[in-house]
Structure 1
Amino acid sequence: MAGAATAARLSGGLHTLGSIKPENSVGSASSGSALLPKTVPAVARNTFLQGAQGLPGPALQRPALPSKSQRHAVRSQAQSIEERIKEGIQVENKLKAQVSDGRVIPLNSKDAGYAVQLSDYILLDVRPSFEHDRAWVKNSIWIPMYEVDKHTSPGSLVKQVGHLINGGLWDGTRYLTANERFMPDLVKQIRDKNANVLVVCQKGLRSLAACEAMRKAGYKNLYWLSGGFDAADDADFEKVGPKPFKYAGVGGPSELFGWTDVQRREAKNDPSTRWSNLGKLAAVIVAIDLLFLGGQQLNFLVQHAPK
């Protein structure tokens, strides 16, 4: 008896379910409409039904591909960057060829110091002002080959901002432009073109550029501080200024964290310097976190302050 009653209840339930028609149905139950609950959105419901009935669904929108002109612009920019890199390498090799073929004689720091202090060699410093003012040699002649660009024209401002974005802000350098007064000031201060002139800069490349310009102007006895002041020892010269020669070309956050070329070379030989730089970095990260948390707390107090 119990089994018969259960069967009757199941039969009645199935009959009831069969009599229910889904809302917004399209086609018969065989098309799949009866499988959709009422809560399915209309767009999804119609897509499902179209697929069940073998009809094409709504077309998927593909992301727009870059136009031919856009692709050409990207390729042109990449080629331009590559060409500038190649030109820079060619210029550097050309300048260094002056040393390899004997037109400019290289001197290390110690020999250069002897030449300036014990003989009649003239030391010509061609660094920009922000490097020269940190450390310079007593009785040297300072004529910058390049100087900080102080122009305010739109083109100059764009170049200055671009230099800061591309690393100038990190290493504390400024955008430089050629000093138009370099050769007139040079001829005025070093009249004898047979004089022994030792040309120096911070890393060695700009001084080679100065040597090339001086050779074209008729100067015959040119010497070059190999590696620039980055490779110089303070004890080899009569130094004037607040910083060591090696640190005259560093600045910005890179100097604070010890991430300049000079500082990293020194850190290899001094583990304490390496740990000190890591400690500075950790301290800055903690300070930024504290400022962030303090700002959040202040914002919370302001929002919930009694009015």
Structure 2
Amino acid sequence: MAGLCFSSALSCRRTTWLVHETNVARNRPYKPLRKKSVVVRGEVNYVNAEEAKKLIAVDGYAVLDVRDKSQFDRAHIKSCHHVPLFIENKDNDLGTIIKRTLHNNFSGLFYGLPFTRINPNFVQSVKGQFSTDSKLLLVCQEGLRSAAAADKLEEAGFQNLSCITSGLQSVKPGTFDSVGSTELQNAGKAGLVTIQGKISTVLGTILIFKVSDGRRERAATEKKMMKRWGFLRKRSGEAKELRPF
């Protein structure tokens, strides 16, 4: 009986303790439950030009060109979509004017690069044309802007993204149907650098001819001198060296 009474007393205490804890919980201030959202992010796929061509033809990927307008106008893949990651900076505040002037006198002059800033409407513009489950092949000239654009779109919920490693500069002529005045791999070349290349080619050709003419003249002069001193004589139409006695 003692053991039984002890068990009953213990059971009552446990019940009282549970009730007490329940009452304390009721007196606590109410805290709303926070919903945890689980975001599934896809991994960006980096491919070469031949693999990119297969993604377009077989897997139905759409091409999204993120270069600036000047490079896009020189050459771009046929039937692609153009949403630049950087746009031309036309702000007229003092700081921007100074930076634009310095840029135009160096990078703009020598390499034909426009003075740009990040496109604040890039993600919204892409979302206006594609759904987040669309298959997109992002392209730029060297591969850096397409990788940055892929990161932004991935954060926005796009899951099927691919980029061409090293960009369009690594694409061989004829790989894609293109539109423009030049080949895709040359669309990033502009400014004085292109003129300098042509000038260097011309000067190099002139220099080669000058060196060749100089060598011929020097060889002819040396031959005359050797004949004059009796080291060479013509015999049977061939020049032979006279051996000393």
Map of 2:177 onto structure 1: 238
What's the offset of the Cα at 1:178?
A: 0.7
Map of 2:232 onto structure 1: none
What's the offset of the Cα at 1:167?
A: 2.8
What aligned pairs does 1:271-282 form with structure 2 within 5 A after superposition?
A: 275-276=201-202, 278=204
What's the offset of the Cα at 1:257?
A: 1.9
Instruction: Sort the Cα spacing of 1:162 and 1:274 in 2 relative to 1 into closer, same or farther, 3 A.
Output: closer
Give the structure, 1 or 2, with the largest relative contact order (CA under 8 Å, sep 6 or more).
2
What aligned pairs does 1:30-41 form with structure 2 within 5 A after superposition?
A: none
Q: Which amino acid aligns with 2:145?
A: R
Distance 1:158 1:276 in 2: 36
Map of 1:135 onto structure 2: 75
Q: What is the aligned counterpart of 1:200 among 139, 146, 158?
A: 139
Q: What is the aligned counterpart of 1:253 among 171, 192, 199?
A: 192
Matched, 1:162 2:106: no
- Partner SS for 2:182: coil
Map of 2:125 onto structure 1: 185
Q: Which amino acid aligns with 2:46?
A: P
What's the offset of the Cα at 1:280?
A: 9.4
Deviation per CA, 1:251-281, whole angstroms, max 9, x where unpaired?
A: 111011229xxxxxxxxxxxxx974474599
Instruction: Sort the Cα spacing of 1:280 and 1:224 in 2 relative to 1 into closer, same or farther, 3 A.
Output: farther
Structure 1, unaligned runs of 5 or more: 1-101, 260-272, 282-307
Map of 1:210 onto structure 2: 149
Q: What is the aligned counterpart of 1:126 among 66, 88, 101?
A: 66
Q: What is the aligned counterpart of 2:158 among 219, 227, 252?
A: 219
User: Normalization by structure 1: what TM-score?
Assistant: 0.50
Deviation per CA, 1:120-139, whole angstroms, max 9, x where unpaired?
A: 10111000000000011111
User: Normalization by structure 2: what TM-score?
Assistant: 0.63
Specify which structure has the higher proportion of helix.
Answer: 1
Distance 1:228 1:239 in 2: 15
Aligned partners of 1:258 and 1:277 also within 8 Å? no
Structure 2, unaligned runs of 5 or more: 1-41, 208-245
Q: Please provide the CA RMSD for this pair.
A: 2.3
Map of 2:45 onto structure 1: 105
Matched, 1:171 2:111: yes
Deviation per CA, 1:168-225, whole angstroms, max 9, x where unpaired?
A: 311111111011121111100012x122211110111011110000010000111011
